[in-house]
Amino acid sequence: MYKKIAPNPTLSWRPSLLLAMTFVWHAAMLLVLVAFPSAWAWVLIALLINHLVLTAVGLWPRSTWLGPNWTRLPSGSATRGEIALTIDDGPHPEVTPQVLELLDRYRVKASFFCVGDAAGRYPDLCRSIVERGHAIENHTQHHSHYFSFLGPAGLAREIQAAQDTLIAITGCTPVFFRAPAGLRNPFLDPVLAKLGLRLATWTRRGFDTRTSDPVIVSRRLIRGLRAGSILLLHDGNSARSSSGVPVIVTVLPQLFEAAAAAGLHFVTLNQVADNEKR
């Protein structure tokens, strides 16, 4: 039975170097505008460039320029030969049960980043995930394509709604968050800190929502696989092979066998976070 976790404490938040420089830049441009009102066009261009940089960084899922981001497991995990399997966009009524059976067969534990709406439609699947010893994490309430355009209040509502949904269904508190497609903006990090959530993206991904060939997806995950990797697959929105089988169902056994051959073993993200506290 998966361990229940107490409500998350608020994490401390400090602006990243890029955000701190942004604050200074805005203040400097304001002073320039006060001293030289006729330079407003140049000030506007300077601010626009700054915001374009922030936008570009937000479109880079593995970036740490906007704040802390787990793109790999900590060094201690790598030393122990640990890797993490993360599964997004579920639960899915057809795919998730097949994934759970494979995880049981190979004795692998995974972190499921669940969408609140889907969890509400299939609560028994969420409870099954937890009962089988896996972790439930936060992947927003609606998995909106415009998530990265939301302001602080909108981000907080979307993430808190998913947090409330998942806690109500499973009794477990997610400790990690992943944005839809990994896209975010500078407002996200302080919201996550307030809610006690850590941002996690990935080291390697299979692009299994768009690629229907399991061989290609497996190659992307397995080639160069090493300790400390965070791997991403999908039970929700999974592409189907030419025979109609969800790609993740074909890929997982190959991934598990490759990891075992390399002497690697799977852990959940919250197991790693718990070890880091000790």
- State the catalytic residues: 88, 234
CA 212 → CA 39, 87, 215, 216, 245, distances in Å?
Answer: 54, 17, 9, 8, 9
72-77 contacts at long range (C-beta below 8 A, 24 or more positions apart): 72/203, 72/228, 72/229, 72/230, 73/227, 73/228, 73/229, 73/230, 73/267, 73/272, 74/228, 74/272, 74/276, 75/228, 76/275, 76/276, 77/227, 77/228, 77/267, 77/272, 77/275
Interstrand relation of 265-267 and 230-234 (parallel, antiparallel or unpaired): unpaired
Helices (H), the chain: 17-35, 40-58, 75-79, 95-106, 116-121, 123-131, 152-170, 188-195, 214-222, 247-261, 269-277
Torsion over CA: 193, 196, 197, 199 (sign): positive
* Bond prior to 174 in cis (omega within 30° of 0): no
